């Protein structure tokens, strides 16, 4: 090694050291309850939160098809029957998430001021899946959140049936997951059981009639680890707004998450392979895609996929060792089709999930609405006819 190279390396090390030693200024959201922080249980939850964030950082930065980070699918069909892929570390919103997660990992003691177990949280109702988990895992037992079992028990029909399967078989479903082979940090429920059992779960579509698919509405839940409604709620770091919203999602087998879109960009890393034969599949296309029938009057469009000719070309399989990482730009229309189980074992698609601009504009997930068929009942399926009305954002 010549002297010039050595000097460069020493300089880079010095630069790294000095950037770490600069004070990082964390501003927390206003509603942080720190009164439980010193309990043993809260410490366990915090440690597993940090491991989860280390895992997310690895997902976003580990070289996998790009110079840095993963080569993501951005559209499963770009209108010319090709899959569109891109390197996500090139996107500014993703770069910010990486920078902010790095800041937390480099300064855990300062960031901890913004950590709240959400034991006394009243902004949203958060759940633990079932009572058994509170016996098996001490953090979930200590938090003693209401259960999804009780929640779904008050519902009816297919929604109740799917919801109770999700709630009661939750642990069996989440522990069927594994990381893709190229990643080292295991952040599945097998490695971080206290976090997955105790983080606050939301039955997000249970009361959303617009989703028009009762089994899906009962069979979907998500949780937020870091973000405006999660365990770690940091408003800004060194004056920069923190848009990271990071957590996990579960979609029960044999359900269709209808076509939807939203302002914030989003990524998914699937952790489960289907239990048998049929693949889990997903769809993503930009809102101006040639796949849709666009209105000449406004930004609305119709989705009307032919079951036999379009769907096989529109949807692609997702699994930890195949199409492992997806990134949706603003207003990208996406949908998830979870394969049926082939035996009595409950299963589903378990994913690491994140949004990158959770503090900008409108966050609401907009579902494309099934257009009623003449004389028929509305049911959201991949080949149903939908109308979507995305807002055109200036940036
Ligand atoms: Zn989404």
What pLDDT score does 7 carry?
40
Could you tell me where the DSSP H helices lie in the chain?
Answer: 3-21, 40-61, 92-106, 108-111, 131-136, 138-143, 148-153, 157-168, 170-174, 193-198, 214-218, 311-314
pLDDT digits (tens, 9 = 90+) for 249-266: 999 999 999 999 999 999
**pLDDT of residue 171 exceeding 60:** yes
CA of 23 to the centre of ligand 1 (A): 35
CA of 268 to the centre of ligand 1 (A): 9
State the Cα–Cα distance between residues 147 and 154, nearest whole angstrom: 12
CA of 136 to the centre of ligand 1 (A): 32
Provide the percentage of residues in the chain whose pLDDT is more than 90: 79
**pLDDT of residue 181 exceeding 80:** yes
CA of 334 to the centre of ligand 1 (A): 7
CA of 15 to the centre of ligand 1 (A): 38
pLDDT, mean of residues 289-309: 93
The string of DSSP letters for 155-202 reads S-HHHHHHHHHHHHTHHHHHTT----TT-----STTT-HHHHHHSPEE
CA of 186 to the centre of ligand 1 (A): 24
CA of 336 to the centre of ligand 1 (A): 10
CA of 325 to the centre of ligand 1 (A): 14
CA of 221 to the centre of ligand 1 (A): 13
What pLDDT score does 372 carry?
74
CA of 152 to the centre of ligand 1 (A): 23
CA of 353 to the centre of ligand 1 (A): 9
Token representation of residue 188? 């599945």
**pLDDT of residue 395 exceeding 60:** no
CA of 261 to the centre of ligand 1 (A): 6
CA of 3 to the centre of ligand 1 (A): 51
pLDDT, mean of residues 38-55: 98
pLDDT digits (tens, 9 = 90+) for 133-157: 999 999 999 999 999 999 999 999 9
Query: Which letter does DSSP use for residue 256 in this model?
Result: E
Q: Among residues 177, 231, 205, which one has the least CA distance to residue 53? A: 231
State the Cα–Cα distance between residues 104 and 100, nearest whole angstrom: 6
CA of 274 to the centre of ligand 1 (A): 21
CA of 75 to the centre of ligand 1 (A): 13
Greatest C-alpha distance within the chain: 81
pLDDT digits (tens, 9 = 90+) for 185-232: 999 999 999 999 999 999 999 988 887 889 999 999 999 999 999 999
CA of 265 to the centre of ligand 1 (A): 8
Question: How far is residue 37 from each of residues 115, 117, 120, 165, 232, measured CA to CA in Å?
Answer: 8, 8, 12, 33, 12
CA of 283 to the centre of ligand 1 (A): 11
Token representation of residue 310? 């379009």
Indicate the range of 21-25, 176-180, 312-316 predicted with least confidence. Answer: 21-25
Query: Which letter does DSSP use for residue 100 in this model?
Result: H
CA of 266 to the centre of ligand 1 (A): 6
CA of 333 to the centre of ligand 1 (A): 8
pLDDT digits (tens, 9 = 90+) for 319-338: 877 778 999 999 999 999 99
- The answer to whether 253 touches 348, Cβ cutoff 8 Å, is yes
Q: For 40-388, which CATH superfamily applies?
A: Jelly Rolls (2.60.120.10)
State the Cα–Cα distance between residues 64 and 152, nearest whole angstrom: 40
What pLDDT score does 341 carry?
84
Average pLDDT, the chain: 91
What pLDDT score does 342 carry?
78
State the Cα–Cα distance between residues 106 and 311, nearest whole angstrom: 45
CA of 248 to the centre of ligand 1 (A): 12
CA of 316 to the centre of ligand 1 (A): 16
**pLDDT of residue 237 exceeding 60:** yes
CA of 260 to the centre of ligand 1 (A): 7
- The answer to whether 217 touches 208, Cβ cutoff 8 Å, is yes
CA of 284 to the centre of ligand 1 (A): 10
State the Cα–Cα distance between residues 341 and 348, nearest whole angstrom: 8
Helix (H) or strand (E) holding 138: helix 138-143
What pLDDT score does 320 carry?
73
State the Cα–Cα distance between residues 252 and 194, nearest whole angstrom: 21
- The answer to whether 355 touches 266, Cβ cutoff 8 Å, is yes
């Amino acid at each position: 090694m010549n002297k010039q190279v050595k000097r460069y390396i020493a300089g880079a090390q010095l630069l790294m050291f000095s950037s770490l030693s600069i004070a990082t200024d964390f501003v927390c959201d206003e509603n942080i309850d720190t009164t439980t922080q010193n309990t043993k249980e809260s410490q366990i939850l915090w440690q597993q939160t940090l491991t989860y964030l280390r895992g997310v950082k690895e997902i976003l930065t580990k070289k996998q098809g790009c110079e840095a980070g993963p080569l993501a699918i951005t559209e499963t069909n770009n209108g010319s029957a090709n899959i569109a892929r891109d390197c996500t570390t090139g996107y500014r919103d993703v770069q910010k998430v990486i920078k902010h997660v790095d800041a937390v990992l480099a300064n855990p003691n300062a960031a901890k001021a913004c950590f709240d177990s959400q034991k006394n949280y009243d902004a949203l109702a958060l759940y633990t899946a079932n009572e058994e988990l509170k016996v098996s895992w001490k953090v979930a037992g200590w938090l003693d959140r209401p259960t999804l079992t009780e929640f779904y028990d008050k519902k009816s029909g297919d929604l109740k049936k799917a919801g109770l399967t999700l709630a009661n078989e939750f642990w069996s479903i989440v522990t069927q997951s594994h990381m893709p082979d190229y990643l080292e940090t295991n952040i599945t429920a097998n490695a971080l059981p206290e976090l997955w059992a105790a983080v606050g779960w939301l039955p997000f579509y249970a009361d959303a009639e617009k989703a028009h698919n009762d089994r899906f509405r009962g069979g979907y839940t998500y949780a937020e680890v870091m973000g405006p409604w999660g365990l770690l709620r940091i408003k800004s770091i060194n004056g920069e707004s923190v848009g990271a919203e990071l957590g996990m999602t579960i979609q029960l087998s044999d359900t269709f998450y209808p076509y939807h879109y939203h302002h914030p960009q989003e990524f998914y890393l699937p952790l489960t392979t289907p239990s048998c034969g049929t693949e889990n599949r997903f769809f993503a296309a930009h809102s101006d895609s040639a796949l849709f029938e666009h209105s000449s009057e406004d930004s609305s469009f119709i989705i009307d996929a032919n079951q036999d000719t379009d769907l096989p070309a529109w949807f692609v399989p997702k699994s930890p060792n195949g199409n492992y990482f997806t990134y949706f730009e603003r207003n990208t229309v996406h949908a998830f089709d979870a394969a049926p189980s082939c035996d009595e074992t409950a299963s589903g698609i378990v994913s690491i999930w994140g949004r990158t601009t959770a503090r900008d504009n409108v966050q609401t997930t907009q579902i494309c609405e099934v257009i009623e068929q003449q004389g028929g009942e509305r049911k959201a399926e991949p080949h149903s006819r939908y109308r979507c009305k995305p807002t055109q954002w200036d940036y």
